[in-house]
Amino acid sequence: MLPRAVALIQIQITLQFVRDNTTISRSTRRGPETLIPPSTARASFGPLSCLLVAMFLASICGISATTNFFAWNATNNTVDAEIEGWPLQKVLEHVAAQTRWQIMVEPGTSRFVTAKFKNLKPGEALRKLLSDLSFVMLPSTNGPTRLYVFKTSVQTATNLVAAPPPPAAVPQLIPDELLVRLKSDSTNSVDEFASRYGGKVIGRMDDLHVYRLKFQDENSAKAAREAMAKDNSIGTIESNYATPRPGQPNSLTGLDAIPALTLRPAQTGNQIVVALLDTAVQPDGSALGSFLLPQVSVSGPSQPPSDMPSHGSSMAETILYSLARVSSETAESPVRILPVDIYGPNESTTTFDIANGIVTAVSKGASIINLSLGGTGDSPLIHSLIRSARDQGVLFIAAAGNEPTLAPTYPAAYPEVIAVTALSPTGEIAPYANRGDFVDVAAPGVSLVHYAGQLYMVTGTSTATANVSALAAALMSNATKDPAIVEALIRQNLAVTALAPKP
């Protein structure tokens, strides 16, 4: 059994989606046209019921809007608030998000909070917010402050409040670069071509005739783009964008450890390869080693941190622990994780690196490509690569984004991709998560992972994406190998209705 604090995050989501449908049809937005016979649907879900019940919610509750505000000022350590009718859980999530504290609350403690004040010290602010509830703050010199909220005793505060992920950095245009795709019948060498327009080739995918060109400055790139638009040997021209590294997970103390991963890699049979396009994955200090295929990097060698899990390691562990929840203690799994490092030693990845990562993953036999990332840039190059791989049966699953808006996030917004938003522990769309009409499905946005003996919490639509990738891998390995059927099952049974953006 999972420890109480872990279970309340990862399993405290009630699933109400087991349907008696005679068929499972296409998603209302998009998806494969395959209709699944009732016998197939039942066979697919039977072996996976415990995973589905533990992980996913099909019907999504709405989230109430508010125009109130809450601000914890780090500079002078004071709190401002003007809130009316906020659920206690929401108040504590805001505190956790703005302080990065580890907050534990007594199960069953719920109320609505109304408060208005300015420039209060933390203790005074918490008294106003928590009213007759008791609380204890425990500062730490080598970890986050711990806050316990309870009605009876501090020992009863065992539910962990998941802090929303930090705001995602906005992808930035690289002004002096362009991505160019030459037509297959072009006779010029790419270096001669680049030199003609005053550029230099700094990245290449020769098999696809795709090249990353760097120019002297932004004006030179603009002039080259205008000139190249008249060149019949060019297929497409687009800008290159830089996407910063994702945030690090939060360390936790005072919680029960996650049970050791007992799932074992199967030594025979065909493998189900989940490609993880992310930061580098650390094989040491975690349970990942035996499930990892050799890591590849499209952006140069990297040195991930030695004292905490990278984002890539956190997503890989999330996938494996989700798989383990559907398996017995002696189970073997054909699933393997292919780490594709698209960041290398750099502070950001780029449109070109993501595209190169997709090509690399497909060439190495990926059945599922997990993209726990996204941005606002619509890339014709990436879209064309996804369409091509999808035609080969590769399943794409991508994060919808950690901003509560309706704006599309790419690559999740492409029709061929399963776009995943995040659920809070109470089964609602998480307050921080994108809820636009491009979103297809929702899954838990919280995961606990181990690294070097320390427990960490990761939150966001990245985590939700990893959970859906785990489900897809489980369906492929336990029920059916047909990616169209797997996709239809996921789109139908984890479907989410678009909601209004949260003010």
* pLDDT digits 0-9 by tens, 28-61: 344 433 333 333 333 334 444 444 444 443 323 3
Tell me the C-alpha distance between 407 and 409, whole Å.
7
Provide the residue type at 237 as one letter. Answer: I
φ/ψ (deg, to 5) at 382: -60, -40
Can you give the pLDDT at residue 30?
Answer: 44
Residue 176, H or E segment = strand 172-182
Give the residue carrying structure tokens 């949260």: 502
Q: What are phi and psi of 309, to 5 degrees?
A: -75, 145
What token pair was written down for 65? 């809007």
Intervals of CATH 3.40.50.200 along the chain: 17-55+246-493
Residue whose structure tokens are 């945030």:
247
Amino acid at 22: T
Backbone angles phi, psi at 413, to 5 degrees: -75, -10
CB–CB of 395/487 below 8 Å? yes
Residues in Cβ contact with 264 at an 8 Å cutoff, skipping those fewer than 6 apart:
290, 330, 331, 332, 333
**Do 52 and 41 touch, CB atoms closer than 8 A?**
no
Secondary structure element (H or E) that encloses residue 81, with its range: strand 78-87
**Cis, peptide link before residue 175, omega less than 30° from 0:** no
Residues of the chain with CATH 3.55.50.30: 69-161
Count of residues making up the chain: 503
Question: Measured between alpha carbons, how far is 464 from 470 in angstroms, rounded to an integer?
Answer: 10
End-to-end CA distance of the chain: 39
CATH code of the domain made up of 172-244? 3.30.70.80
- Rounded Cα distance between 391 and 385, Å, is 10
- Strand residues in 364-460 grouped as ranges (E): 368-371, 395-399, 417-423, 441-444, 446-451, 454-459
pLDDT value, residue 286: 61
- Counting as low any pLDDT under 70, the low residues of the chain are 1-67, 141-143, 167-169, 187, 254, 285-287, 327-330, 479-480, 498-503
Rg, the chain, Cα only: 24
Q: What are phi and psi of 73, to 5 degrees?
A: -85, 110
Domain with CATH 3.30.70.80 in the chain: 172-244
67: its two tokens = 């125009």
CA distances from 3 to 6, 7, 9, 60, 147 (A): 5, 6, 10, 26, 19
Closest CA to 466 of 333, 373, 328, 365: 373
Q: How far apart are CA 450 and CA 456, in angstroms?
A: 6
Three-class SS state of 331: coil
Q: How far apart are CA 369 and CA 420, in angstroms?
A: 13
Dihedral over alpha carbons 293, 297, 302, 303 (to 10 degrees): -10
**Helix (H, G, I), strand (E, B), or coil: what is residue 103?**
strand
The pLDDT of residue 328: 62
Give domain 17-55+246-493's CATH architecture. 3-Layer(aba) Sandwich (3.40)
CA 158, distance to chain mean position in Å, is 26
What is the torsion angle, in degrees rounded to the nearest 10, for the CA atoms of residue 398, residue 439, residue 494 and residue 91? 100
Q: What is the pLDDT of residue 171?
A: 79
Q: How far is CA 15 from the centre of its chain?
A: 21
Query: Closest Cα partner for 102 from 90, 112, 87, 92?
Result: 92
CA pair distance 395, 483, nearest whole angstrom: 7
Contact of 279 with 301, CB cutoff 8 Å: no
With H, G, I as helix, E, B as strand and everything else as coil, classify residue 71: strand
CB 502 within 8 A of CB 431: yes
Residue range 69-161, CATH number: 3.55.50.30
pLDDT of 273: 96
In the structure encoding, which two tokens stand for residue 500, read together?
């209004």
Identify the H or E element spanning 311.
helix 311-324
Residues 416 and 393: beta-carbon distance below 8 Å: no
Provide the token pair at 89.
Answer: 């859980």
Which amino acid is present at 28? Answer: T
Q: pTM here? A: 0.79
